[in-house]
Chains A and B, each alone.
Chain A
Amino acid sequence: MNDLWILMKSELVITLIIFILLFIKLSRGMKNESLLALTQILLLANFIIGFFFNKQGSLFGDMFYTTPLIVLQKNILNLGVYLISLLCSGWLKKTPHLPEFFMLMLSALLGMFFMISSGNLLMFYLSLELASIPVAAMANFDLEKKRSSEGAMKMILSSAFSSGILLFGISLIYGATGTISFAQLSSQLDGSPLQILAFVFLFAAFAFKLSVVPFHLWTADVYEGSPIAATSFLSVISKGAIAFVFISALYRVFQPLQETWYIMLVILAIATMVIGNLFALRQQNIKRFLAFSSIAQVGFILVAISSNDSAGISSVVYFILIYVFSNLAAFGVASVITDQTGKENIDDYKGLYKTNPFLTWILTLALFSLAGIPPTAGFFGKLFLISAGAAKANYGFIIVVVLNLVISLYYYLRIVRAMFMDKNEQPVEKIKVTAAGKFALILCAAGIVLVGLLSWIYDYIVMINK
């Protein structure tokens, strides 16, 4: 009984917060501002609790298991959600259904936690559904905007489709091996054609959620239509969670098929980086731009996953941590600007430095981190991803990867150039950032600079990964 409380600590705390919000909603309700402050405090508490009472073990006959690494992964997501609640406070304050938004977001987070901890394909499927359906509702949260509903519709259809593929894959796996438990599965896999087919279906479902090319088509539309709070959740938290599960599924469960998935990963990584980069070059809308840039980032994550050793896991976890800070900083600035002026185009960012130096520096730092330029943490994150992928001494592959790094630099610099160099008759006026937003942006900036320079963070990840 004691084990249950400790092992499922993260999930229980999130459930508790959801219930608190629910009771507030059902009782007299609260003003948006105080409710937001309360939620922020609860999320911060949740993040802090994440560091304590960590234990390794499994529950419910291996349906649910947890390790220190998993706890860390969950806590990275906790951090991300906390940051989103601060960064998007301007929009959140105005939304008429604040408790519902947080309940949806936290339910999705809960689903992701179960997904990361799942030790069984059935459990995995259930939690994946829990993690994706609320997100579709979040995407629809700009109720008066058509695009928002369009995005949500696309999201729900494509995620239903990918769930179908996943279920089909699971049923084939069950047919081929007679088990759906992760622990038993790996010993049953021998690479027979049926198993490979089943694996390809599973892989495709992951690829859908990670928006790997050619399963990426829903991404840009959904990102563009959704409110930024939902977009940043989708692109950071949900991507991160899927990447964690994906890597542990490949390394732990599908290890016997590693020759198959190595080739698949190399091809998909190249396709994802190239397509993501090329489409990002021409985007005008900042959200679409970030959507394609995040597709390209996933390509780099796949590079590290292809390494198939412990360096792959540690560098992905490290990269996601950095990605949380950098991408959320970028979305945070975009959110502040969109929220106050309604402007979403890159052209509107021209001459931003004159009026809003603080926002410009933060966005520059975030973009440099995404592009992997030192001294930001993104440099270390990217380099470790590439180094992990380079372990197989596949020079051609690595050259393609680093050339993509250069292409990506071009479009990140495009925004920097717009903000610092381009002239604009009517730049965005001086924007007043809320205290919470400012705090979160500074937190992100600190994270972007410090996570790389404080090398013990990476050592810590390596240590608990052992």
Chain B
Amino acid sequence: MNLLLLILAPLVTAVAALLARSKWQVRWISFAGSVVQLILAFVLLFAFQNERGTGNATQMLFEQNYNIFPAWNINFHLGVDGISVAMILLTSFVVVAGVLVSWNIEKMTKEFYFLLTLLALGAYGFFISLDLFVLFFFLEIAVIPKYLLIGIWGSGKKEYSANKLALMLMGGSALVLVGILGLYFSSGHSFDLLSLSKMNIAKGTQSIIFPLLFVGFGVFTALFPFHTWVPDGHSSAPTAGSMFLAGISMKLGGYGCLRVATYLLPEGAKEYANIIIILASIAILYGAFATMMQKDLKYINAYSSISHCGFVLLGIGMLTKTAITGAVMQMVSHGLMTALFFAVIGMIYDRTHTRQVSEMSGLMRMMPFISTVFFIVGLCSLGLPGLSGFVAEMTIFMGSWENADMFHRIATIIACMSIVVTAVYILRAIGQVAMGPAKESFLQLTDAKWNERMAAAILVIGILAIGIIPGWLNELLKPASEVIMNKIGAK
């Protein structure tokens, strides 16, 4: 399959949306574009599995390489392995759902969909590029649309949140830039991921560059203490903005930490692994306890995202094959789950015009569909078997347990404990919102419309597909995480 299609499809969609005459056209163009992306992602998945099935064990498949800036040795180098395919699938799911839930946006519809599609473009490009310069290019493309999405269509203290988010993410990507340039000059002028992975970079250099890259990407994925943009950003963003932010853009960071920082700088990763584990454990616990104190549904999900993304970093820090596979699974699972969570919150807010948990009760009676989805996503978040959250977290814990020393054991146990806390806040929120007597003023509220049903259904299907039959995802990810871990020389 030609990977350029994954960039062209959103590009064409974005331009077509700008040229459209009416809101109606914009919506349908964006929807059609997002469906095309979903189909492309599935075609990619099957083509990839086909290729692997025929015994093609090359690290990256469907490679394409164009030399664009020969003076700097910058190549437009594309290719995918199992991890990238999983992330692309995730992106396409979230994009379709995001486009569907934004159906009612009346203010500057054209610009809204344009920016949304641009963000998706950045994410696709990021996940398929094998050249650090191009990767950085797409990473930055994915930042500014968020600023505008939050600032223009957001709610609450949106200007403040938008600024904070843009500056923190740009600060993160500035560190990434320094790291990439460090790699470039210490490797004899190469930006190419694959050729960099074959080089032996001096240990001293690695221990300078690794923290730059890891912290830089870590800002995107809410690495403690650089997580402060998450609650503000998510809660101020419009529904689709939050979905994209938590579902796609936080995953850019996790993917970068894994693919760029850990893979290219194994010595650095070993050196800093313990610090990563400590920070991740803090994020997991802190996120979970902070969520307990929240009263606003969006804040609940934002803080729980910090906790869940902590698992991703914990898995990376454990440096075992199983844990890394789990980390990627957690990225996919959390992406689907949190996007669904925000979608549901958006649907509830559109009807009740409040996001305060205490002001809601008994929504189950008026909105059975929305409440059921809310239940599913809540249970997924607290790790009920049969849903994706369980599969991912279980894999991470199994991988962590392979490290037999006291330090790793304690970190694992701390992380496990957070699940109990998660259960407390999730069940409390769901109970309050969905159960109990229905409020008088809510009695005439209606259930989900067709677009909302479709959006929720797509994401629920994704969650179930991972939760019930996790084998395919495991098989997809395992060879790729083995390549990364073999380089480190871990179990």
Name A's B-contacting residues (CB within 8 A).
311, 314, 368, 373-375, 379, 383-384, 386-387, 390-391, 393, 395, 398-399, 402-403, 405-406, 409-410, 413, 416-417, 420-422, 455, 458-459, 462
* Contact among B74, B140, B151, B167 with A379 in the assembled complex (CB-CB below 8 Å): B140
- For the complex formed, measure the closest distance between the CB of A157 and the CB atoms of chain B, giving whole angstroms: 39
- For the complex formed, measure the closest distance between the CB of B86 and the CB atoms of chain A, giving whole angstroms: 25
Report yes or no: A375 in contact with B141, Cβ–Cβ below 8 A. Answer: yes
* Contact among B141, B167, B186 with A410 in the assembled complex (CB-CB below 8 Å): B167
* Contact among B133, B159, B167, B185 with A390 in the assembled complex (CB-CB below 8 Å): B185
Name B's A-contacting residues (CB within 8 A).
68-72, 74, 133, 137-138, 140-141, 143-144, 147-148, 151-152, 158-159, 162-163, 166-167, 170-171, 174-175, 177-178, 181-182, 184-186, 208
Smallest CB-CB separation from B122: which chain A residue? Answer: A374
- For the complex formed, measure the closest distance between the CB of A313 and the CB atoms of chain B, giving whole angstroms: 11
Smallest CB-CB separation from B168: which chain A residue? Answer: A406
* Contact among A373, A374, A406, A458 with B171 in the assembled complex (CB-CB below 8 Å): A406
- For the complex formed, measure the closest distance between the CB of A380 and the CB atoms of chain B, giving whole angstroms: 8
Task: Knowing A373-B140, A421-B151, say if A413 contacts B181 (CB, 8 Å).
Answer: no
Report yes or no: B186 in contact with A393, Cβ–Cβ below 8 A. Answer: yes
Q: How many A-B residue pairs have CB under 8 A?
A: 84
Smallest CB-CB separation from B184: which chain A residue? Answer: A387
Report yes or no: B208 in contact with A409, Cβ–Cβ below 8 A. Answer: no
- For the complex formed, measure the closest distance between the CB of A343 and the CB atoms of chain B, giving whole angstroms: 22
What's the Cα separation between A413 and B145 when bound, in Å?
A: 12
* Contact among A374, A393, A410, A462 with B137 in the assembled complex (CB-CB below 8 Å): A374
A residues within 8 A CB of B159?
Answer: 417, 421-422
- For the complex formed, measure the closest distance between the CB of B169 and the CB atoms of chain A, giving whole angstroms: 10
Task: Knowing A387-B72, A406-B170, say if A395 contacts B151 (CB, 8 Å).
Answer: no
Q: Can you spell out 13 A-B residue pairs with CB atoms less than 8 angstroms apart?
A: A311-B71, A314-B71, A373-B140, A374-B140, A374-B141, A375-B137, A384-B72, A398-B178, A403-B171, A409-B170, A416-B148, A421-B152, A421-B158
- For the complex formed, measure the closest distance between the CB of B108 and the CB atoms of chain A, giving whole angstroms: 8
B residues within 8 A CB of A387?
Answer: 72, 181, 184
Smallest CB-CB separation from B189: which chain A residue? Answer: A391
What's the Cα separation between A418 and B192 when bound, in Å?
A: 40
A residues within 8 A CB of B70?
Answer: 459, 462
Report yes or no: A403 in contact with B174, Cβ–Cβ below 8 A. Answer: yes
Smallest CB-CB separation from B136: which chain A residue? Answer: A383
B residues within 8 A CB of A374?
Answer: 137-138, 140-141
B residues within 8 A CB of A311?
Answer: 71-72
Report yes or no: B71 in contact with A409, Cβ–Cβ below 8 A. Answer: no
Report yes or no: A391 in contact with B170, Cβ–Cβ below 8 A. Answer: no
Q: Across the A-B interface, give the 5 residue pairs with the lowest CB-CB distance, nearest first.
A: A402-B174, A462-B71, A455-B68, A390-B181, A421-B151
What's the Cα separation between A405 and B151 when bound, in Å?
A: 21
B residues within 8 A CB of A458?
Answer: 69, 71
Report yes or no: A417 in contact with B151, Cβ–Cβ below 8 A. Answer: yes
What's the Cα separation between A314 and B70 when bound, in Å?
A: 13
- For the complex formed, measure the closest distance between the CB of A74 and the CB atoms of chain B, giving whole angstroms: 22
B residues within 8 A CB of A413?
Answer: 147, 163, 166
- For the complex formed, measure the closest distance between the CB of A220 and the CB atoms of chain B, giving whole angstroms: 25
Smallest CB-CB separation from A389: which chain B residue? Answer: B181
Report yes or no: A402 in contact with B178, Cβ–Cβ below 8 A. Answer: yes
What's the Cα separation between A422 and B177 when bound, in Å?
A: 32
* Contact among B138, B140, B158, B181 with A398 in the assembled complex (CB-CB below 8 Å): B181
Task: Knowing A311-B71, A406-B171, say if A373 contacts B144 (CB, 8 Å).
Answer: yes
What's the Cα separation between A384 and B71 when bound, in Å?
A: 10
A residues within 8 A CB of B208?
Answer: 395
What's the Cα separation between A119 and B68 when bound, in Å?
A: 35
B residues within 8 A CB of A373?
Answer: 140, 143-144
What's the Cα separation between A384 and B175 when bound, in Å?
A: 16
B residues within 8 A CB of A455?
Answer: 68-69, 74
What's the Cα separation between A399 and B74 when bound, in Å?
A: 22
Smallest CB-CB separation from A404: which chain B residue? Answer: B174
B residues within 8 A CB of A390?
Answer: 178, 181-182, 184-185
Task: Knowing A403-B174, A459-B70, say if A393 contacts B148 (CB, 8 Å).
Answer: no
Task: Knowing A420-B148, A421-B151, A458-B69, say if A405 contacts B174 (CB, 8 Å).
Answer: yes
A residues within 8 A CB of B162?
Answer: 417, 421
B residues within 8 A CB of A375?
Answer: 137, 141
7 new A-B contacts at CB < 8 Å, known A391-B185, A422-B159: A311-B71, A374-B138, A398-B181, A402-B174, A406-B174, A417-B159, A417-B163
What's the Cα separation between A417 and B143 when bound, in Å?
A: 15
A residues within 8 A CB of B147?
Answer: 413, 416
Smallest CB-CB separation from B141: which chain A residue? Answer: A374
What's the Cα separation between A417 and B148 when bound, in Å?
A: 8
What's the Cα separation between A456 and B23 when bound, in Å?
A: 38
* Contact among A391, A409, A459 with B69 in the assembled complex (CB-CB below 8 Å): A459
- For the complex formed, measure the closest distance between the CB of B486 and the CB atoms of chain A, giving whole angstroms: 30
What's the Cα separation between A368 and B118 when bound, in Å?
A: 15
A residues within 8 A CB of B171?
Answer: 403, 406
A residues within 8 A CB of B143?
Answer: 373
What's the Cα separation between A399 and B208 when bound, in Å?
A: 12
- For the complex formed, measure the closest distance between the CB of A442 and the CB atoms of chain B, giving whole angstroms: 15
- For the complex formed, measure the closest distance between the CB of B135 and the CB atoms of chain A, giving whole angstroms: 12
B residues within 8 A CB of A410?
Answer: 163, 167
Smallest CB-CB separation from A382: which chain B residue? Answer: B177
- For the complex formed, measure the closest distance between the CB of B143 and the CB atoms of chain A, giving whole angstroms: 8
What's the Cα separation between A462 and B72 when bound, in Å?
A: 10
Report yes or no: A393 in contact with B71, Cβ–Cβ below 8 A. Answer: no
- For the complex formed, measure the closest distance between the CB of A417 and the CB atoms of chain B, giving whole angstroms: 6
Task: Knowing A395-B208, A402-B174, A402-B175, say if A409 contacts B167 (CB, 8 Å).
Answer: yes
Smallest CB-CB separation from B153: which chain A residue? Answer: A421
A residues within 8 A CB of B138?
Answer: 374
What's the Cα separation between A187 and B274 when bound, in Å?
A: 56
Smallest CB-CB separation from B108: which chain A residue? Answer: A353
- For the complex formed, measure the closest distance between the CB of B234 and the CB atoms of chain A, giving whole angstroms: 18
Report yes or no: A395 in contact with B182, Cβ–Cβ below 8 A. Answer: yes
What's the Cα separation between A391 and B185 when bound, in Å?
A: 7
A residues within 8 A CB of B69?
Answer: 455, 458-459
A residues within 8 A CB of B72?
Answer: 311, 384, 387
Smallest CB-CB separation from B68: which chain A residue? Answer: A455
- For the complex formed, measure the closest distance between the CB of A33 and the CB atoms of chain B, giving whole angstroms: 34
Task: Knowing A379-B140, A406-B174, A417-B151, say if A386 contacts B71 (CB, 8 Å).
Answer: no
- For the complex formed, measure the closest distance between the CB of A374 and the CB atoms of chain B, giving whole angstroms: 5
Smallest CB-CB separation from A368: which chain B residue? Answer: B144
Smallest CB-CB separation from A422: which chain B residue? Answer: B159
Task: Please indicate which of the listed interface residues B141, B159, B166, B177 has the most CB atoms of chain A within 10 Å of its own CB.
Answer: B177
